[in-house]
Amino acid sequence: MLTSILGARVIDPASGRDEIADIHVENGRIAAIGTAPAGFAAEQRIEAGGLVATAGLVDLSVALREPGYSRKGSIASETLAAAAGGVTSLCCPPDTKPVLDTTAVAELILDRARESGHAKVFPIGALTRNLAGEQLAELVALRDAGCVAFGNGLTEFGSTRNLRRALEYAATFDLTVVIHSQDRDLAAGGLAHEGPAASFLGLAGIPETAETVALARNLLLVERAGVRAHFTQLTSARGAQMIADAQARGLPVTADVALYQLILTDEALHGFSSLYHVQPPLRSLADRDGLREAVRAGVIGAIASHHQPHEADAKLAPFGETEPGISGVEIQLPLALTLVQDGLLDLPTLLARLASGPAQALGLPVGRLAVGEAADLTLFDPNASTLVGERWLSKGRNSPFLGHCLPGAVRYTLVDGKLVYQA
């Protein structure tokens, strides 16, 4: 379908474009920005005066819960929620049931994602069989089936030697590894950041060193192996500084942070609401400020939702007995716009951290708004607001932001030129 998007503020941080212009879409790609091509007769027109048009957001961690956890979510429900949050491309982690360690599981996910058509899905394959940290999964076969990177989640390897060999094997085939850094022994039994809030509430703590000790080891192994590595879900200011130091030494490493870690701190745990139970945990105000500075400086080049939908029962038990995770992809853009509202980032920089930065981290062919690129677009009203929960599409309602009024509102989301969400 020939589509013209008229009068939007077009922002593409990757190219530095920021102007009022029309966008013309043909055969799923951007045919022109500004004047329409000769003979172009739009079949669909979107009046976008007052709206911002940007490349569709790219989210590096969205748990789709399928296969295996249909009570929590499905590919259809969670990709639709992603589209409502302005996300057109997402990576799903390998902790499905069965684990995403075979080509059959990868193909199932990709087939169902194509059937739903709400967002592009890029699977992250399991680095080891059944995420057990022992035997390597069939990484090359998984790559050929569509996996864009490989990780082991929060499950540590059985030994450092096994991890070293896995990284060396990945480097041999130029594969990207996604690494969570949390020392199993230091984090064992912990529920919250080890600090005054946890002590006051009587919750077992997870020290900052659970992240930094594991991160130091992992960075040394990455340097030794020469592998491309993406460090995901950083939680501490010290960890962000360690990534900055590694990048200054020339290591091919990137990093992301969960959006809620840039908003919340462990002070939110007062009241024992299980909606704030996440792993790794919410940390101190100083850590949050350090993470914010790393995002501003570009050390952390990607902001992800780390969306983990749960059924209601999963959050009804006492705090320590509930399942960790926040459902957040549906409000990815409005929640992120609070960082602009707070003066931390300007709008083009925020959009870079939500689109081009994540795409570059894993080498994904998305995240740009330019002629010839796929017409994956998000149009939003920066002057409107979003009442969280007024319309909720994810199966998981486990969000501490329900009932909040957030800045900005997604109006249209297009994937390959197809309108997949309209407010």
3 state SS of 269: helix
Confidence check: pLDDT of 333 > 90: yes
**Are 45 and 361 within 8 A, CB to CB?**
no
Over pLDDT 90: what percentage of the chain?
98
Cβ atoms within 10 A of the Cβ of 360, count?
17
What single-letter amino acid sits at 37? P
> pLDDT tens across 205-247, in order?
999 999 999 999 999 999 999 999 999 999 999 999 999 999 9
Residues 6+ apart with CB under 8 A from 53: 5, 8, 9, 10, 11, 23, 369, 377, 378, 379
User: What's the pLDDT at 90?
Assistant: 98
What is residue 132's three-state secondary structure?
coil
pLDDT at 117: 94
Q: Alpha-carbon distance 52 to 346, whole Å?
A: 14
Q: What is the three-class DSSP state of 352?
A: helix
Amino acid 156: pLDDT: 86
- Reply yes or no on whether the pLDDT at 185 is more than 90: yes
What is the tens place of the pLDDT at every residue in 343-386?
999 999 999 999 999 999 999 999 999 999 999 999 999 999 99
pLDDT in tens, 89-115: 999 999 999 999 999 999 999 999 999
Mean of the pLDDT values across residues 121-141?
97
Q: At what angle do helices 209-225 and 237-248 cross, to 10 degrees?
A: 20
The Cα–Cα gap between 288 and 211 comes to 14
Q: What pLDDT sits at residue 217?
A: 97
Res 4 pLDDT > 90: yes
Task: Give the pLDDT confidence of 189-202 residue by residue, as tens digits.
Answer: 999 999 999 999 99
Peptide bond before residue 94 is cis, with ω within 30 degrees of 0: no
pLDDT averaged over every residue in the chain: 97
Q: Which residue from 330, 343, 310 is spatially nearest to 57, judged by alpha carbons?
A: 330
Of 93, 113, 175, which is closest to residue 138 (Cα–Cα)?
A: 175
Residue environment code for 89-103, b if the CB has 16+ CB neighbours within 10 A, otherwise e: bbbbbbbbeebbbbb
| 120-126: strand order across its sheet | 57-59, 87-92, 120-126, 149-151, 176-179, 228-231, 253-258, 302-304
Per-residue confidence (pLDDT) for residue 154, from 0 to 100: 87
CB atoms within 10 A of CB 200: 10
Q: Are 175 and 149 in contact (CB under 8 A)?
A: yes
pTM: 0.97
pLDDT grade for 136, boundaries at 50, 70 and 90: very high
* 308 within 8 A of 63, measured Cβ to Cβ: yes
What is the residue type of 406?
L
Using one digit for the tens of pLDDT, what is the confidence trace for 241-283? 999 999 999 999 999 999 999 999 999 999 999 999 999 999 9
pLDDT of res. 220 = 98
34 pLDDT above the threshold of 90: yes
Q: What is the pLDDT of residue 158?
A: 82
Percent of the chain with pLDDT over 70: 100
The CA-to-CA distance between both ends of the chain, in Å, stands at: 20
- Name every residue whose Cβ is closer than 8 Å to that of residue 202 and which is 6 or more positions away in sequence: none
Rounded to an integer, the average pLDDT of 323-327 is 98
Distance between CA atoms of residues 140 and 357, nearest Å? 25
| pLDDT band, very low/low/confident/very high, at 295 (cuts 50, 70, 90) | very high
